[in-house]
């Protein structure tokens, strides 16, 4: 068990003596089902939040040569020191990823390794950015030395489904660009920050990274109220993002770097390669039990191939293996949120009363911490599962005759992250790709939706995102172009 009793403020690991919140895993460690106590975290409030914010503001305004104006090579040295210390913690962090959020062993290892790679790639991209900014420009007799500068204080809040990778995809570029930060880990996937606290404390100057624990409304809301936050960096839901944004007294001054909900569709045309399509849809809908903002959350299948698709897809879903994250070949793993099976059941009940049927034999079967993926057909737009992000193992399927049907739905949708398009005929696909690219930000051809490779832009239209992430884009999202100009006289 890990009883987290320290938090990082102004370069100091401070002791916490107040209230705590226990952290449980929905994975049972006994034969008779019982959630496992993993440890506890401090239940912090406004005083600690203000200390952390003051430290970040202070570190940003410390004067010349300190973090925001420090030499690029020195900032890079700090980041390199951090990532090296982080690499040494792989085993501990991977184990916590499995217990805290139920992510399978291969996926937990991938999340860790991908994050380390992301940090190294960010360092390289930052070096390139610095090389580019060394060049002078001259237009109409005015010389300019254009560079990128930090924005100020960043409040960083990550999600539970990628508590390491996505949180760090915000935090690392924010830090390296010279901003100072206050960071609060997600509710699930919080203890895995413990093995990294010392690395943060010893690698960066005081006040650059401040780490708090507790509930978002207890620590993040008071921070926003002060109006001293320059960037809200959050991956999660738009309700939390909007609530925090509203707390800021001058929210028009706030830069938003947000990754929010999505309802990514798969559109399957009649000439699609069904073997490939079924495999891609399986991964797209059910990797990490559908708990990905990039998951396929609705499948549009052409009428002509609907029956064959439903039959073969359902069989494949039922053949998946459920197990604990460390079990060999387990593709389906316990859901980390205790109330999730009941919520999924509610969505299924709602859909069934409105005419949908679960097409696979095991669909909807519940155990203590799981509900078997349900292939649901025919789904209609009045069903909750069509509207709500669900973030779980339901696969809602709609059939269509005319391609305008899914296109109209996408145009009406509040979301616009990605789409997967399955088909072969290039003359059909080509104009469709152009149309789809204006509705979402990534069109995946004959493949499921995903965020990676992390060098590619990750963003969305409408309510799905603000600003762009990727190794390259995130450095730009957390900075502003500034320049020195002088005349040729
Ligand atoms: O929750 C959204 C994540 O960015 C998903 O990332 O597509 O690499 O699994 P992924």
Average pLDDT, the chain: 97
Phi first, then psi: give them for residue 437, nearest 5 degrees.
-65, -20
pLDDT-based confidence at residue 53 (cuts at 50, 70, 90): very high
- Residue of the nearest CA to atom 4 in ligand 1? 451
Instruction: Quickly list H helices, 88-182.
Output: 90-101, 105-133, 165-176
| 114 Cα nearest atom in ligand 1 | 8
**Spatial CB neighbours of 219, under 8 Å, sequence gap ≥ 6:** 44, 45, 46, 48, 49, 52, 184, 212
271-284 confidence digits (pLDDT tens): 999 999 999 999 99
End-to-end CA distance of the chain: 69
390: left (phi over 0), alpha (psi -120 to 50) or beta: left
Q: In what order do the strands lie in the sheet with 296-302?
A: 357-358, 374-377, 394-400, 296-302, 264-268, 418-422, 442-445
| 451 Cα nearest atom in ligand 1 | 7
pLDDT of 255 higher than 90: yes
Distance 451 CA to ligand 1 centre (A): 5
Distance 325 CA to ligand 1 centre (A): 18
Do the bridges between strand 296-302 and strand 394-400 make them parallel or antiparallel, or are there none, so unpaired? parallel
Q: What is the mean pLDDT of residues 425-429?
A: 97
Structure tokens given for 324: 């604990």
- Residue of the nearest CA to atom 8 in ligand 1? 451
pLDDT of 195 higher than 90: yes
Residue 65 pLDDT:
82
Distance 378 CA to ligand 1 centre (A): 27
Query: Measured between alpha carbons, how far is 394 from 377 in angstroms, rounded to an integer?
Result: 11
pLDDT of 399 higher than 90: yes
pLDDT of 489 higher than 80: no
Do the bridges between strand 296-302 and strand 264-268 make them parallel or antiparallel, or are there none, so unpaired? parallel
pLDDT of 326 higher than 90: yes
Q: Tell me if residue 46 falls in helix, strand or coil.
A: helix
Distance 294 CA to ligand 1 centre (A): 5
User: Model-level pTM?
Assistant: 0.97
Residue 200 pLDDT:
98
Pocket probe mutation, ligand 1, options 162, 392, 459, max atoms within 8 Å of Cβ: 162
Phi first, then psi: give them for residue 154, nearest 5 degrees.
-110, 125
What percent of the chain is modeled with pLDDT above 90?
96
Q: Tell me if residue 390 falls in helix, strand or coil.
A: coil
| 161 Cα nearest atom in ligand 1 | 1
**Spatial CB neighbours of 379, under 8 Å, sequence gap ≥ 6:** 298, 351, 356, 385, 386, 396, 397, 398
Phi first, then psi: give them for residue 464, nearest 5 degrees.
-85, -25
Query: Measured between alpha carbons, how far is 472 from 477 in angstroms, rounded to an integer?
Result: 9
Distance 445 CA to ligand 1 centre (A): 17
Query: Measured between alpha carbons, how far is 307 from 357 in angstroms, rounded to an integer?
Result: 14
Distance 380 CA to ligand 1 centre (A): 26
DSSP 397: E
| 454 Cα nearest atom in ligand 1 | 8
Q: What is the ipTM of this complex?
A: 0.93
Q: What is the mean pLDDT of residues 288-299?
A: 98
Structure tokens given for 294: 């990039």
Phi first, then psi: give them for residue 233, nearest 5 degrees.
-115, 110
Residue 362 pLDDT:
98
Residue 46 pLDDT:
97
Pocket probe mutation, ligand 1, options 294, 297, 464, max atoms within 8 Å of Cβ: 294
| 295 Cα nearest atom in ligand 1 | 7
Q: What is the mean pLDDT of residues 357-368?
A: 97
pLDDT-based confidence at residue 1 (cuts at 50, 70, 90): confident
Distance 296 CA to ligand 1 centre (A): 11
Structure tokens given for 115: 């994050």
| 159 Cα nearest atom in ligand 1 | 1
- Residue of the nearest CA to atom 7 in ligand 1? 450
pLDDT-based confidence at residue 135 (cuts at 50, 70, 90): confident
Task: Please give the helix or strand (H or E) that residue 377 lies within, else none.
Answer: strand 374-377
- Which residues sit with their C-beta closer than 6 Å to ligand 1? 161-162, 166, 292-294, 450-452
DSSP 403: T
| 288 Cα nearest atom in ligand 1 | 9
Q: What is the mean pLDDT of residues 385-399?
A: 97
Pocket probe mutation, ligand 1, options 115, 293, 418, 447, max atoms within 8 Å of Cβ: 293
**Spatial CB neighbours of 428, under 8 Å, sequence gap ≥ 6:** 269, 271
């Amino acid at each position: 068990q890990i009883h987290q009793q320290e938090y990082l403020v102004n370069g100091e690991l401070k002791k916490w003596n107040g209230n705590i919140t226990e952290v449980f895993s929905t994975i049972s460690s006994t034969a008779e089902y019982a959630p496992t106590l993993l440890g506890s975290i401090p239940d912090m409030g406004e005083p600690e939040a203000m200390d952390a914010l003051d430290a970040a503001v202070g570190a940003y305004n410390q004067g010349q040569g300190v973090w925001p104006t420090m030499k690029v090579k020195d900032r890079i040295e700090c980041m390199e020191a951090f990532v090296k210390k982080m690499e040494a913690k792989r085993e501990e962090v991977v184990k916590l990823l499995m217990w805290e959020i139920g992510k399978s062993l291969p996926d937990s290892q991938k999340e860790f390794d991908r994050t380390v790679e992301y940090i190294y790639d960010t360092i390289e991209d930052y070096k390139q950015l610095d090389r580019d900014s060394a060049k002078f420009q001259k237009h109409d007799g005015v010389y300019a030395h254009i560079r990128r500068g930090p924005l100020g204080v960043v409040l960083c809040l990550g999600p539970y489904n990628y508590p390491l990778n996505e949180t760090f995809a915000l935090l690392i570029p924010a830090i390296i660009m010279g901003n100072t930060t206050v960071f609060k880990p997600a509710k699930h996937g919080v203890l895995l920050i413990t093995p990294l606290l010392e690395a943060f404390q010893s690698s960066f100057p005081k006040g650059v990274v401040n780490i708090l624990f507790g509930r978002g409304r207890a620590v993040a809301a008071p921070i926003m109220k002060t109006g001293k936050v320059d960037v809200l960096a959050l991956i999660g839901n738009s309700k939390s993002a909007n609530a925090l944004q509203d707390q800021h007294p001058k929210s028009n001054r706030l830069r938003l770097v947000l990754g929010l909900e999505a309802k990514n569709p798969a559109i399957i045309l009649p000439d699609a390669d069904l073997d490939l399509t079924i495999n891609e849809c399986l991964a797209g809908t059910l990797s990490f039990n559908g708990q990905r903002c990039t998951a396929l959350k609705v499948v549009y299948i052409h009428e002509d191939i609907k029956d064959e698709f439903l039959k073969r897809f359902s069989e494949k879903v039922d053949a998946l293996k459920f197990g604990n994250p460390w079990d060999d070949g387990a593709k389906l793993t316990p859901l980390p949120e205790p109330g999730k099976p009941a919520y999924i059941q509610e969505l299924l009940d709602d859909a069934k009363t409105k005419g949908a049927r679960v097409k696979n034999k095991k669909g909807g079967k519940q155990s203590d911490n799981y509900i078997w993926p349900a292939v649901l057909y025919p789904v209609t737009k009045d069903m909750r599962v069509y509207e709500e992000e669900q973030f779980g193992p339901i696969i809602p399927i709609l059939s269509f005759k005319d391609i305008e049907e899914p296109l109209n739905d996408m145009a009406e949708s509040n979301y616009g992250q990605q789409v997967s398009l399955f088909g072969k005929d290039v003359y059909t696909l080509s104009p469709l790709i152009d149309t789809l690219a204006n509705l979402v930000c990534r069109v995946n051809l004959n493949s499921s939706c995903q965020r990676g490779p992390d060098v590619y832009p990750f963003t969305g239209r409408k309510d799905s995102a603000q600003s762009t992430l990727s190794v390259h884009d995130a450095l730009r999202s957390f900075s502003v172009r500034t320049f020195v100009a002088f005349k040729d006289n």
